[in-house]
Amino acid sequence: MLQACVDALVQEPDGCYVDGTVGGGGHTEAILQRLNERGRVIGFDRDMDAIERVRLRLGEHERVSLVHENFAMMADALRERSVNEVDGVFLDLGVSSFQLDEAERGFSFQGEGPLDMRMDQSQALSAREWVAQTDEGEMAEVIYRLGEERSARRIARAICERREVRPFELTSDLAAVVERVKGGRRGRRLHPATLTFQAIRMVVNRELESLERVLGEMLLRIRVGGRFVLLTFHSLEDRLVKQFFNRHVRREVALQAGGVQVEGERPFVRWISKKPLMASEAEMAENSRARSAKLRVIGVEG
């Protein structure tokens, strides 16, 4: 979907584009390649390792600026750099394969790492603290809502019982407790702890809150004709994006007394494709993350 994202985003080769989630830098580089010598990319990631990785990948580049910041703060960070308007914003949400593959970061139930899950290593709250401090009811609610995990109550109870005996330190401790509740893997496509880990990662990193803020603030800073392009991986993210932009779609409603009334919040937008684009069968076979990817694109009409 990389080329589809770049095709959707870049409308002006000399424009200024924001990649809000540089990760490994694949999209950042592809955007840059689509621009001419006047075009520029401003890349954000809240993970310092990602910023350093992309800096190495692209080298010192006068048309690329990299910012270690939560994309929730994107509008402020751009203003501080005297950038008031951009031609497009791209977000590829969730965690990167680098974060998942590195056991030390504590995102994966597969390795033996500290129960961390912070995208931004300078953040105070880690998964370890969240699991130690959160009361059982709230924990069940989070695992149910963000993980869409049907065994949420039983899992929360088991976690709270186990932490009375010994605090959780490792990802493998947590995975083992969830696995015990859910009865092992038994031919399931997903590991039994997948949804619980997803929920805890999302709450620790306040992922939906960041998304909500960047949508609201950056829609006001994209030029007319520019694009907002989002790759989502979770039904709640996708719903948030869909509902947010639907409120900004310009609608003409016929009045009984004659004439039409224009409805919708400003700035107006239009869906570039009404339905989200999904990965091809081949991409899904190659990359399991692609199975839940949805690409949504809007054009800003002003």
Ligand X SMILES: C[S@@+](CC[C@H](N)C(=O)[O-])C[C@H]1O[C@@H](n2cnc3c(N)ncnc32)[C@H](O)[C@@H]1O
Helices H / strands E in the chain, number of each:
13, 10
Whole-angstrom distance, CA of residue 248 vs CA of residue 161 = 47
Tell me which residues in 197-216 interact with ligand X (CB under 6 A): 210
Whose Cβ is closer to ligand X: residue 5's or residue 195's?
5
Q: Minimal distance in Å, beta carbon 96 to ligand X? A: 4
Whole-angstrom distance, CA of residue 63 vs CA of residue 41 = 6
Which of the 8 DSSP states describes residue 249? B
Q: Decide: is 50 part of the binding site for ligand X (CB under 6 A).
A: yes
Q: Decide: is 26 part of the binding site for ligand X (CB under 6 A).
A: yes
Selected range binding ligand X among 16-24, 101-109, 145-153, 256-264, rule: CB under 6 A: 16-24
Q: Decide: is 237 part of the binding site for ligand X (CB under 6 A).
A: no
Interface with ligand X (CB under 6 A), residue from 71, 130, 228, 245: 71
Instruction: Give yes or no for a contact between 107 and 117, defined as CB atoms under 8 angstroms apart.
Output: yes
Q: Locate tokens 């779609």: which residue?
A: 249
Selected range binding ligand X among 43-51, 145-153, 167-175, 291-299, rule: CB under 6 A: 43-51
Whose Cβ is closer to ligand X: residue 233's or residue 271's?
233
Interface characters, 92-131, with ligand X (x: CB under 6 A) = x-xxx----------------------x------------
Q: Decide: is 88 part of the binding site for ligand X (CB under 6 A).
A: no
Interface with ligand X (CB under 6 A), residue from 4, 11, 12, 24: 24
Q: Decide: is 35 part of the binding site for ligand X (CB under 6 A).
A: no
Q: Decide: is 87 part of the binding site for ligand X (CB under 6 A).
A: no
Whose Cβ is closer to ligand X: residue 94's or residue 192's?
94
Whole-angstrom distance, CA of residue 140 vs CA of residue 199 = 10
Whole-angstrom distance, CA of residue 55 vs CA of residue 68 = 11
Instruction: Give yes or no for a contact between 213 and 160, defined as CB atoms under 8 angstroms apart.
Output: no
Whole-angstrom distance, CA of residue 134 vs CA of residue 5 = 38
Whole-angstrom distance, CA of residue 27 vs CA of residue 154 = 40
Whose Cβ is closer to ligand X: residue 25's or residue 147's?
25
Q: Locate tokens 């107006």: which residue?
A: 268
Q: Minimal distance in Å, beta carbon 104 to ligand X? A: 15
Q: Minimal distance in Å, beta carbon 46 to ligand X? A: 4
Whole-angstrom distance, CA of residue 117 vs CA of residue 105 = 6
Number of residues engaging ligand X in binding (CB under 6 A): 20
Closest by CA position to 237, among listed 89, 92, 27: 92
Instruction: Give yes or no for a contact between 226 and 11, defined as CB atoms under 8 angstroms apart.
Output: yes
Q: Rg of the chain's alpha carbons, rounded to an integer?
A: 21
Whose Cβ is closer to ligand X: residue 68's or residue 223's?
68
List residues binding ligand X (CB under 6 A): 21, 23-27, 44-47, 50, 70-72, 92, 94-96, 119, 210
